[in-house]
Amino acid sequence: MNTRKSENIYQEAVKYIPGGVNSPVRAFKSVGLNPIFVDKAKGSKIYDVDGNEYIDYICSWGPLMLGHSNEDVLSGVEEIIRKGTSYGVPTEIEVKMAKLIVDAYPAVEMVRMVNSGTEATMSALRVARAYTKRNKILKFEGCYHGHSDSLLVKSGSGTITYGVPTSPGVPKDVVKDTLVCRYNDLESVQKIFKEHGNDIAAVIVEPVAGNMGVVAGKKEFLEGLRTITKEYGSVLIFDEVITGFRLAFGGAQEVYGIEPDMTCFGKIIGAGLPVGAYGGKREIMEMVSPVGPVYQAGTLSGNPLAMYMGYKNISILKENKNIYKELEQKAIKLENGFKENLEKLNVKGTVNRAGSLVCLFFAEGPIENYEDVMKCDVEKFNIYFKELLKRGILLAPTQFEAMFLSNAHTDEDIEYTIKASYEAMEIAFDK
Ligand code: PMP
């Protein structure tokens, strides 16, 4: 595989950008490689600047459920750009977008657009704290909610890969009100609520954790969170940045039949443009300025281009609900193929799947929380990753991320991936 052009760009990039990348997981550092630089992408395929083609399972970390450069999503975009790219004054498409979300999520009566998942969770917490007049928040080990200070505690994603569960630069005082419990462990939550319940403003959780591989919340666990937060008057926040509009049109809350008080959305509602949103019960959302006293703002929030693309993306999903069934079928095919491979090669591994999110862990199951995830053989994963890359398959360059399937992945893509995965495991595990 020739990656000479990528390598040259990378050498230039490190001079100007920390690590040569604008987000740490892009660096490929954890797998001992330098990153590939992308030229373009279409459907399930991504092409690097050297002309190598890869079946892409990163899909921009989730939003591209319809694949790259989907013609239906893109149609009309040029016209929108030519009208203007940002006004700082409202546009109708923002209202249409808000209505689309509110109609899809009974628990969301009002919604505010922001520019990233990080902003969504950070803002939701501020509102929840103001609403309850309490300071403490509770999160779960291995759940990632973006990089705002108070949430950067025992989180997943790049913080696991690069070993900075609590980053330097986050003052102790800022995280003193962040409590952490074990994912899928209701007892640990009950214990902490007994001690601090009346001071807990909010519990924030990924209903399906997608930042420590894929770990689905158990129904009893999530229902338990609903019950206990109601009992103590704390705000239950579902971070659906990954699961919203992906697990089902109505997100994880539809699948589990649980209504949180607040919901955070991200990338999917921008179809790959920078977007996030947070919403919830009217009474809570009316805390937000200019109706209420909680300040939260953004020059580019509700950007017309992002809203236009997002609106088209979500509308397509709304009109074609069978996309979800198709996506799940593809994911099941991948899951079964991986399981067969593990068995045939007698490799200790576990496949977790939730809807169209799949993760092959190199550790014995069940994998239900951060501690379980930490048992994975990362070195074997790194070899596996490289072997797959050589075979034209692009995974997230770490064991602790999901494989994101899109509707553009074909049966052939999946079959080839299973075959290549077998070969990569043979090499990684000396079989
Ligand atoms: N919450 C979750 C569940 C996420 O997966 C992410 C990012 N992957 C975020 C929040 C932060 O989103 P962003 O990177 O857009 O700030």
Q: What is the DSSP string of 58-99?
A: -GGGTT-TT-BT-HHHHTTHHHHHHH-S--SS--HHHHHHHH
Supply the pLDDT for residue 56. Answer: 98
- What is the number of structural domains in the chain? 2
Beta strand 178-181 pairing with 136-140:
parallel
Ligand 1 atom showing the smallest separation from residue 121 Cα: 10
Lookup: tokens for 408: 């553009």
In terms of domains, do 297 and 362 share one? no
Confirm or reject: Cβ of 210 under 6 Å from ligand 1.
Answer: yes
In terms of domains, do 373 and 285 share one? no
For the question of residue 377 being annotated catalytic, the response is no
Choice from 125, 211, 247 to test ligand 1 binding pocket (greatest atom count within 8 A of CB): 211
Instruction: Answer yes or no: are the C-beta atoms of 253 and 72 closer than 8 Å.
Output: no
Whose structure tokens read 């003052």?
A: 171
Query: What is the distance in A from the centroid of ligand 1 to the CA of 13?
Result: 24
Pick from 319, 353, 372: which residue ends a domain? 319
Pick from 319, 336, 368: which residue ends a domain? 319
In terms of domains, do 298 and 237 share one? yes
Cα→Cα distances 200→120, 170, 304, Å: 19, 21, 37
In terms of domains, do 293 and 327 share one? no
CATH number at residue 191: 3.40.640.10
In terms of domains, do 403 and 354 share one? yes
Query: What is the distance in A from the centroid of ligand 1 to the CA of 149?
Result: 14
Instruction: Answer yes or no: are the C-beta atoms of 404 and 59 closer than 8 Å.
Output: yes
CATH number at residue 25: 3.90.1150.10
Supply the pLDDT for residue 34. Answer: 96
- Write out residues in the chain with pLDDT < 70, as ranges: 156-165
Supply the pLDDT for residue 279. Answer: 98
For the question of residue 372 being annotated catalytic, the response is no
Supply the pLDDT for residue 198. Answer: 98
The span from the CA of 269 to the CA of 104, in Å, is 12
Q: Which of 142, 136, 177, 173 is nearest to 160 (CA)?
A: 142
Supply the pLDDT for residue 196. Answer: 95
In terms of domains, do 81 and 57 share one? no
In terms of domains, do 61 and 189 share one? no
Query: What is the distance in A from the centroid of ligand 1 to the CA of 118?
Result: 6
Supply the pLDDT for residue 159. Answer: 61
In terms of domains, do 374 and 417 share one? yes
Choice from 60, 122, 139, 145 to test ligand 1 binding pocket (greatest atom count within 8 A of CB): 145
In terms of domains, do 238 and 109 share one? yes
In terms of domains, do 59 and 84 share one? no
Q: Which of 283, 243, 278, 241 is nearest to 262 (CA)?
A: 278
Peptide bond into 290 cis (omega under 30): yes
For the question of residue 239 being annotated catalytic, the response is yes
In terms of domains, do 60 and 75 share one? no
In terms of domains, do 391 and 421 share one? yes
**Which domain, by its residues, includes 257?**
71-319
Pick from 319, 336, 358: which residue ends a domain? 319
